[in-house]
Amino acid sequence: MELLTGKLRHYPWGSRELIAQLRGDQEASDRPEAELWFGAHPGGSATVGDAALVDVIAADPAGQLGERVRARFGDELPFLLKILAAAEPLSLQAHPTPEQAADGFQRENALGIDLAADNRNYKDANHKPELIVALTEFEAMAGFRPLAKTLELFDRLGSTEVERYLAMLDRSPEREAADLRVLFTTWITIPGGSRSTLIDDIVASAAQQLADPQLPDWMREELSNVVELHNRYPNDVGVLGALLLNKFTLQPGEGLYLDAGELHAYVSGLGVEIMANSDNVLRGGLTSKHVDVPELVRVLRFESLADPRVIPERNGDCLHFPTPIDEFTLRQCVLGSAVPVEHDGPVIVLVTDGTAELTCDDQQLTVPAGTAAWVPATDGTVTLQPTGATVFIATV
């Protein structure tokens, strides 16, 4: 059991205040702090003392991961835990299935595209299902909105330019996925001039509707989001994609799970994110990074997603966020009483508020907010003492 120091990532959409405040810093950072990685991904490994966690695991995979985890996932930590701090929207994106990731990784290797190249889509051969739990109010776009509800929004919007494209749709319930595919792929590939005309009309129509006090709250949130995205990314194709997505505002402690192929973009806020150990992102807009529309469309699932929020299960001082995959499990605990962590694999205990005190056998460890503890498989039961701290416990 040792302190684990996260790898800080600076991206333009990051916040100068949120991670700094979590650490207890009095001053804002001098540049955006977007993500703090607590894992063993080769692109950004956390450190144990002076050693990269990826190297610690490679030197002793049996002791660090345990036989159950090695038998299922090999000699790599199967999850990546992060603190994510967004001051601006992230890119409109989706992630591949395991098969798509393996194929894409091999294909780009064969083409000789360097792993660090800006035009690289696949940084590894893994899929990237992900769960985010809000620490502050957290805004996100996630999954295609049910088409019937989108058509209701379009009717209220009253955009003549949007109406031109609706003639392409079948509108029968059994054809919903096909209709979403037609509309999204048409909009994301239309020429620049036509795109500008369409977006300008959408934004003007949205402004008219937002002035109406009778506008339903969910429509107000959706249309306000589209206008704000256009103000930040004028005439970006991602503005059109956003018009088809669910918009959610998570409160602290609420979670959102997204599987492969589900289109999404986080908008703002601070959260703890856990995912399979991958950095594969296919982008379609709202970014200055590499955009690959054909590859994004290839991995997208066009089924609507009514509500991807995760209902946590309470057990004493802890909330468990269930997901349908094996790479990780995540609990959030407010330590009002002692919490034992029994395990036969690796554990990361991330502190997001207060200071945690951990004991294991004869060892004690103090973990302040913004840092974590690495617990290898061969350590005994870890007990989190009742200090009132808020912690996240990630295991396989």
The stretches in the chain having pLDDT less than 50 are none
Among residues 292, 310, 328, the one where a domain terminates is 310
Are residues 229 and 135 part of one domain? no
Query: Residue 126 has what pLDDT?
Result: 94
Establish whether 283 is a catalytic residue.
yes
Structure tokens at 285: 């807009």
One-letter amino acid at 205 equals: S
Query: 93 a known binding residue?
Result: yes
Residue 388 has a CB neighbour count (10 Å cut-off) of 12
Q: Of 120, 283, 301, 331, which is the active-site residue?
A: 283
**H or E element in which residue 22 lies:** helix 18-23
**320 marked ligand binding residue:** no
pLDDT of res. 222: 95
Report which of 81, 78, 106 is spatially closest to residue 350, judged by C-alpha positions: 81
Residue where a domain terminates, one of 244, 263, 289: 244
231/379 same-domain check: no
| Residue 230 in marked binding region | no
Closest by Cα among 139, 187, 134 to 164: 187
Give the residue from 310, 326, 344 where a domain finishes. 310
Same structural domain, 185 and 263: no
Residue 110, classified by CB atoms within 10 Å of its CB into exposed (0-12), middle (13-18) or buried (19+), is: exposed
Does residue 41 sit in the same domain as residue 135?
yes
Instruction: Please give the pLDDT value at position 288.
Output: 84
Task: Read off the tokens for 69.
Answer: 């985890």
Please report the pLDDT score of residue 349 as a whole number. 98
Coil/strand/helix, residue 144: strand
**Residue 368, domain extent:** 318-395
Q: Are residues 219 and 159 in the same domain?
A: yes
Count how many domains the chain has. Answer: 3
Residue 95 marked as a ligand binder: yes
CB 330 within 8 A of CB 352: no
Residue 26 has a pLDDT of 87
Query: What confidence score (pLDDT) does residue 306 get?
Result: 82
Q: Are residues 192 and 340 in the same domain?
A: no
Are 9 and 113 in a shared domain?
yes
C-alpha dihedral, 132 to 133 to 135 to 141, nearest 10°: 50
The CATH number of residue 325's host domain is 2.60.120.10
| Pairing state between β 7-9 and 51-52 | unpaired
Q: How far apart are CA 222 and CA 154, in angstroms?
A: 11
* Overall pTM > 0.85: yes
335/339 Cα distance (integer angstroms): 7
Asked if 242 and 141 touch (Cβ cutoff 8 Å), the reply is yes
What's the confidence (pLDDT) of residue 36?
98
Residues 39 and 121 in one domain: yes
- Asked if residue 289 and residue 322 are part of one domain, the reply reads no
Please check whether residues 261 and 215 belong to one and the same domain. Answer: no
Asked if 80 and 114 sit in the same domain, the reply is yes
The amino acid sitting at 75 is D
- Are 20 and 111 in the same domain? yes
